[in-house]
Amino acid sequence: MAIAKVRVKINGTWTNLSHDSSGKWTGNITAPSTTSFNQSGGYYPVVIEVTNDAGTVKTWEATDATWGNVLRLQVKETTKPVITLVSPSNGAYVTNNKQPITFKVTDEAGGSGVKLSAVSLKIDSTTYNYNSTGMTYAEITNGYQFVFTPSTALSDGKHSLAINSADNDGNAAGAVTASITVDTVPPTLSIITPEAGTITNSANVTVSGTTNDAISSPVTVKVVLNGVDQGTVTVGSDGTFSKAVSLAEGENTIVVTATDAAGKSSSVTRTVTLDTSIPAISSVVLTPNPVNASASVVVTVEVS
């Protein structure tokens, strides 16, 4: 009995095969456009149907005891998942030495999905996985968002981050690398002039001093006189600064604040009094007057 027709069905579409000179039936079939990972069993079932010239039809399916394992087409997607560092941003300065690190990993819609066991976060030389202490995750559209909070405080200074992942079809995401700087110590601040409690008759005073932060320089300095910001203060490479201000008559409050790149700050307050009044005499009494030679004279002066 001769074979009249052989055809194959994949993903609901039938394709007729051609009988070649070797006696085999072959055909080129385009694989489904989406991964089989999400299909039942993780494959597309293939159906082979053979018809002889007497009209007898025989089919074999993925459940067949003999050929079932062969009739299971696995299709893998080729799109890489995407890693996004949410916070802190690359190059950020942070004041929390247990700073939470938030990132998300997403795959394309209809893809094989993010493989949890392939997700890792490396801080300096230590790698953390999705189930490590301090790591939590939640489902988002087409993926997961992860938050890692270090259980051991990070030392002050710069730390490197590296995030890796892959999908369930083995496509590795492009690694995301970044660095953050931990700074828990405020900058030093020393005021040279004016000295505390200064009383002067000159309205023009120079506020000067030095500041430094070993980890997150440069430091910015702000001078506030009687509640009014005095504008830009230039800080030298050696940490020195000066700012000319004009005092108001009477007591003046000067607040100097140094802030590092991490937002930590130190402040010093100085009280300076401007007194431009001119002394005056309201009365002078010489007693006695006249006085005998070589005798004592009491001088009494009232100053206003």
**Chain segment 11-24, per-residue pLDDT in tens:** 999 999 999 989 89
* Confidence grade of residue 8 (pLDDT, cut at 50, 70, 90): very high
3-class DSSP assignment, residue 117: helix
Using the structure block, give the residue that is written with the tokens 């301090």: 134
Domain 3-73 has CATH 2.60.40: yes
Check whether 1 has a pLDDT greater than 80.
Answer: no
pLDDT at 91: 96
Residue type, 230: Q
Q: Give the whole-angstrom CA distance, residue 39 versus residue 45.
A: 9
The model carries a pTM of 0.80
Residue 43: other Cβ atoms inside 10 A: 16
Contact indicator for 208, 244 with CB cutoff of 8 Å: no
Q: Would you give the distance in Å from CA 96 to the centre of its chain?
A: 12
**pLDDT (mean) for 165-175:** 97
* Confidence grade of residue 243 (pLDDT, cut at 50, 70, 90): very high
pLDDT at 6: 97
**Chain segment 212-225, per-residue pLDDT in tens:** 998 988 899 999 99
Q: Which of 87-91, 138-142, 245-249, 300-304 has the lowest mean pLDDT?
A: 300-304
Residue ranges, comma separated, of all CATH 2.60.40.10 domains in the chain are: 188-274
Helices and strands (H, E) in the chain, number of each type: 0, 26
Residue ranges, comma separated, of all CATH 2.60.40.1220 domains in the chain are: 82-182
Check whether 156 has a pLDDT greater than 80.
Answer: yes
DSSP state of 139: E
From the list 157, 165, 168, the residue with the least C-alpha distance to 122 is 165
pLDDT at 304: 83
From the list 35, 66, 34, 33, the residue with the least C-alpha distance to 48 is 66
Please give the CATH topology (third level) of the domain spanning 188-274: Immunoglobulin-like (2.60.40)
pLDDT at 216: 85
Contact indicator for 81, 95 with CB cutoff of 8 Å: no
pLDDT at 217: 83
The CATH class given to the 82-182 domain equals mainly beta
